[in-house]
Amino acid sequence: VVPFAAGGPTDVVARMIAIPMGKALGQTVLVENTVGAGGTIAATRVARAAPNGYTLFIHHMGMATAPALYKKLAFDPLKDFEYIGQVVDVPMTLLARKDFPAANFAELQTYLKANGSKVSLANAGLGAVSHLCGLLFMSHIGVELNTIPYKGTGPAMNDLLGGQVDLLCDQTTQTVPLIKDGRVKVYGVTSLSRLSALPDVPTLNEQGLKGFEVKVWHGMYASKGTPAPVLEKINAALRAAMQDPMVKQRLAELSSDIPPMDKISPAGLKTHLEAEITKWAPVIKKAGIYAD
């Protein structure tokens, strides 16, 4: 079960690994899109499904932000699921329209502190990863910008390219070609290490925002109570899929990272989810934003 529309980044990841997982399991893995309410409808469906290993759930970091974003949540990410493992990490980039005045990140910080709310920061809507990235960025630099929500990163990027907005955080799967073509200005990547696809672009962490990291990580879950032998079999299939040559090549082309093997595990996913809930809850609460 994928909580977003077909063709989106999470759906692409799910369909990419479904075929090699099916080979490892000896049966077809079907991808179903159950959209709505920021992924919470799909999550609730899987939480209530029979715990037999036949209904799985793949979700991004929204699994960690939902407890803070929603006042009423029909599931608990830490209590209502079994964990299978992390799937893929997609870093982000901090971009500006190509004619934005600041030439580098140091100049950007100076400009933002001087102009504050005059600078527009686009995002893909309330609770979207681009929105959360922007919140974390403003928290780190101590400046409130004029945030502009859109109905997705597509229209937000179109307005950035057209010069209607100033800044945007977006996934490398969308931005690397634009950066290489010089159609946008890039100030840094949100991973803790530089990207092979953008080796000359420094991280925000190395430019002074210590510990700044935003990755659109994905995890795979099953219903609570799914037997341990079943989870082990599914985890083995997931690990096999992540080592599939075609999957590795495709993810590299998308500037996406395969997590270390210790994270493609139930314990690795659970630990990461707990850390991400702790990380994002104060950021969201400070902003006073809710999705319901």
Closest among 290, 276, 287, 285 to 83, alpha carbons compared = 276
- Three-state secondary structure along 124-148? CCCCCHHHHHHHHHHHHHCCCCEEE
Of the pLDDT bands very low, low, confident and very high (cuts 50, 70, 90), residue 104 is very high
Task: Choose the weakest-confidence range: 78-82, 119-123, 208-212, 256-260.
Answer: 256-260
What per-residue confidence (pLDDT) applies to 29?
Answer: 97
Same domain, 58 and 98: no
* CA distance linking residue 257 with residue 253, whole number of Å: 10
Residue 203 and residue 100 share a domain: yes
| Nearest-angstrom CA–CA distance, 17 and 71 | 33
Domain boundary among 154, 177, 207: 207
The CATH number of the domain where 223 resides is what? 3.40.190.150
Claim to verify: residue 48 and residue 124 sit in the same structural domain:
no
pLDDT digits (tens, 9 = 90+) for 57-68: 999 999 999 999
Query: Mean pLDDT, the chain, as a whole number?
Result: 93
- The pLDDT tens digits of the residues spanning 185-221 come to 999 999 999 998 899 999 999 999 999 999 889 999 9
| 150 or 202, which is more confident | 202
- What does the pLDDT read at residue 239? 98
**Which are the contacts of 73, defined by CB distance < 8 A and separation ≥ 6?**
40, 66, 67
- Of the chain, the percentage scoring pLDDT greater than 90 comes to 73
- Residue 285: which residues within 8 A CB-CB, separation 6 or more? 68
Query: What is the predicted pLDDT for the residue at 24?
Result: 97
Q: Are residues 17 and 57 in the same domain?
A: yes
Task: Summarize the confidence of residues 120-131 as an average pLDDT.
Answer: 86
Q: What is the pLDDT of residue 286?
A: 84
Indicate if 184 and 107 belong to the same structural domain. yes
pLDDT of 281:
92
SS3 261: coil
pLDDT tens, position by position, 75-100? 999 999 999 999 998 899 999 999 99
- The domain of 34 spans 9-89+215-287
- How many beta carbons lie within 10 A of that of residue 285, not counting itself? 12
Q: Are 84 and 220 in contact (CB under 8 A)?
A: yes
Confidence of residue 173 (pLDDT cuts 50, 70, 90): confident
Gap between the Cα atoms of 237 and 230, Å rounded = 11
Evaluate whether residue 2 is within a structural domain: no
Domain boundary among 176, 207, 238: 207
The whole-number pLDDT of residue 116 equals: 92
Q: Look at residue 252 in the predicted model and tell me its pLDDT.
A: 85
Q: What is the pLDDT of residue 14?
A: 93
CA distance 53 to 224: 10
Selection from 243, 267, 290, 274 nearest residue 85 by Cα: 267
pLDDT at 76: 96
User: How much is the pTM?
Assistant: 0.80
